[in-house]
Amino acid sequence: MQVNVGGIFVHQGYIDPSDQAELLDQVRRVVRAAPLYRPETKTGRKMSVRMTSAGTYGWMSDRKGYRYERRHPEGMEWPPIPKLAKRIWRDVAGVPREPQSCLINFYDADAKMGLHQDRDEADFEMPVLSISLGDDARFRVGGPERGGKTEAIWLRSGDVALMGGDARLNFHGIDKIRAGSSSLLPNGGRINLTLRVVD
Ligand code: MD3
Ligand code: FE
């Protein structure tokens, strides 16, 4: 089923359970080559979400600020974007370009992501695609101005969300994780893959 929340299209149950397991396997391969780390903000606070990336560019935050980088903080290039994630992009994104970045966010039961905009990319005509695996997450989306009205939707394992057009610069974040709601990850938690065209 497809639902529209605040201009974001959520394809619920888009990825069947066997493809979710295969994609998780591909994500594990990325994490083995480019380990998860906890980014710091400019003020030196650690984010609660752990991250790594695949593709030409990885999104990164540290005391110098946030930006895209071609290398992991430990110095290696980012591994290739998982094949299944690229296939989903081709089938859903509706643009002729390939994704250049796949940010992998790992949320444990207590992790959150505050409301923010994604505006570090060069071309806002290019959509952003999000793939959810593991525990349910309450995703909150507002408008293009901070402090406006927001709506929330629970994202579940296998859901694919497309943020394009007028919604591309909407504020969004993750409020809450429902621990134990999925058995995909043996130790629980949620993985979100965010695919983007960067340059
Ligand atoms: C709505 N991640 O990494 S992905 C992020 O679930 C991020 O990990 C969240 O926001 C997560 O930047 C949400 C969904 C998402 C991504 C980009 C958007 C939603 C968006 C851009 C505009 C509006
Ligand atoms: Fe975001």
pLDDT of residue 59: 96
> Across residues 17-41, what is the average pLDDT?
97
| Residue whose entry in the numeric block shows the structure tokens 């909150």 | 140
Give the model's confidence band at 92: pLDDT under 50 very low, under 70 low, under 90 confident, else very high. Answer: very high
Which of 10, 66, 130 is the pocket-test mutation for ligand 1 (most atoms within 8 Å of CB)? 130
Q: Mean of the pLDDT values across residues 48-74? A: 96
Q: What is the pLDDT of residues 104-120, one digit of tens each?
A: 999 999 999 999 999 99
Query: What's phi and psi for 180, nearest 5 deg?
Result: 80, 10
Q: Work out the pLDDT band at 6, boundaries 50, 70, 90.
A: confident
- The pLDDT tens digits for 145-156 are 999 999 999 999
Average pLDDT, the chain: 97
Read off the pLDDT band of 46 (50, 70, 90). very high
Q: How confident is the model at residue 89 (pLDDT cuts 50, 70, 90)?
A: very high
| Dist. CA 32 → ligand 1 center (Å) | 24
How many other CB atoms sit within 10 Å of the CB of residue 159?
24
CA distance 162 to 130: 6
At 122-179, the pLDDT tens digits run 999 999 999 999 999 999 999 999 999 999 999 999 999 999 999 999 999 999 999 9
Q: Residue 34 has which token pair?
A: 């480019």
Whether ligand 1 lies within 6 angstroms of the CB of 191 is answered as no
Residue 158's pLDDT is: 98
Are 39 and 72 in contact, with CB atoms under 8 Å apart? no
Tell me which residue has tokens 């990885």.
Answer: 58
| Residue minimizing CA distance to atom 23 of ligand 1 | 170
DSSP-assigned letters across all residues of the chain:
-EEEETTEEEETT-S-HHHHHHHHHHHHHHHHHS--B--B-TTSPBPSSEEEEEES-EEEEETTEEEEESB-TTSPBPPPPPHHHHHHHHHHS-SSSPP-EEEEEEE-TT--EEEE----SS-TTS-EEEEEEESEEEEEE--SSTTS--EEEEE-TT-EEEE-GGGTT--EEEEEEETTS-SSSTT--EEEEEEE---
Q: Which CATH number fits domain 2-196: 2.40.128.120, 3.40.50.20, 2.60.120.590, 3.40.50.10490?
A: 2.60.120.590
- Hunting for tokens 């430990």 — which residue is that? 74
Q: Which ligand has its closest atom nearest to the C-alpha of 8?
A: 1
103, 120, 128, 175: residue to mutate for ligand 1 pocket, most atoms within 8 A of CB: 128
Ligand 2 centroid – CA 113 distance (Å) = 8
Strand-pairing partners, residue 104, are 52, 193
The reply to whether ligand 1 has any atom less than 6 angstroms from the CB of 163 is yes
Q: How many residues are given for the chain?
A: 199
Pocket flag, ligand 1, residue 101 (CB < 6 Å)? no
Helix (H/G/I), strand (E/B), else coil: 27 = helix
Contact assessment for residue 15 and residue 158, using Cβ atoms and an 8 Å cutoff: yes
